[in-house]
Amino acid sequence: MKTIDLDHQSVRELNQGLHDQASACTEPEWLVLNPAGKHAIACGLNAKLSVDIQGHAGYYCAGMNQQASVTLHGNAGQGVAENMMSGLVRVRGNASQSAAATAHGGLLVVEGDAAARCGISMKGVDIVVGGSVGHMSAFMAQAGRLVVCGDAGETLGDSLYEARIYVKGKVASLGADCIEKPMRDEHLAELRELLNRAGIDANPSDFRRYGSARELYHFKVDNAAAY
């Protein structure tokens, strides 16, 4: 295992060391000490690495992740796992706003709460939040699944496209064009699989499903010529 102490080495040195593993993966396990809320820790990874970060991170932790498994033993600042392509990012504490923003793939697990705009413009990522999410979560979400084991804030799923949202607790309000939809067997099955992968103990039948009503302007074939 390779240990990097950010009290003595820079984030740039850490990230360069992690990026060097993309061409030849010689050191699969990394331990990061004293993150102290620094920004852009473990960004841009592209190798089957396991990275353990011991403490709280600042903005964009594990952003643009591919293949790697990153565990943050603390809270994450804004934009954790933003634009993730694949792999797994796990936050043991809470995440600030815009978690997994625009992410295309992989799985983000937030064991605590995620703040506003969780999964904003998500494009295929799966997100499982053990606690609650803030307002405008899954805004303009295009693809992927958002699972919320607690409550959801105002205007959940506003201007949603094809992403599916599962919420166990209360939803403060639904955004434009977001509606509740029936839970069919295939939804219970995919939710069970997501909760299992996230390692979160919850009963899929306690959740409700939300999705797009497909009533907004761009869903109307009459407007196709405008594009």
Which residues in this chain contact other proteins in the complex, by CB under 8 A? 36-39, 55-56, 58-59, 75, 77-78, 93-94, 96-97, 113, 115-116, 134-135
Distance separating alpha carbons of residues 195 and 198, to the nearest angstrom: 5
Nearer CB in complex with other proteins: 154/190: 154
Which CB, 140 or 194, lies closer to other proteins?
140
Q: Which is nearer to other proteins, 115 or 171 (CB)?
A: 115
Q: How far apart are CA 42 and CA 45, in angstroms?
A: 7
φ/ψ region of 98 (left if φ > 0, alpha if ψ in -120 to 50, else beta) reads left
Nearer to other proteins, 30 or 59 (CB): 59
DSSP per-residue codes, 50-63: EEEEES---TTTTT
Q: Which residues are within 8 A (CB) of 142 and not within 5 positions of it... i.e. 6 or more apart?
A: 121, 122, 123, 124, 161, 162, 163
C-beta closer to other proteins: residue 68 or 133:
133
The CB-of-34 to other proteins minimum distance in angstroms stands at 9
Smallest gap from Cβ 61 to other proteins, in A, equals: 11
What's the min distance (Å) between Cβ of 164 and other proteins?
26
Query: In terms of DSSP H, where are the helices of the chain?
Result: 11-19, 185-198
Is there a contact between 144 and 162 (Cβ–Cβ < 8 Å)? no
In the block, which residue shows the tokens 């850490």?
Answer: 14
Among candidate residues 147, 148, 165, the one with its CA nearest the CA of residue 212: 165
Q: Least Å distance between CB 95 and other proteins?
A: 9
Is beta strand 208-212 parallel, antiparallel or unpaired with respect to 178-181? antiparallel
To other proteins, the closest distance from the beta carbon of 56 in angstroms equals 5
Min CB(181)–other proteins separation in Å: 27
Q: Cα–Cα distance between 115 and 46 in angstroms, integer? A: 27
Nearer to other proteins, 63 or 204 (CB): 63
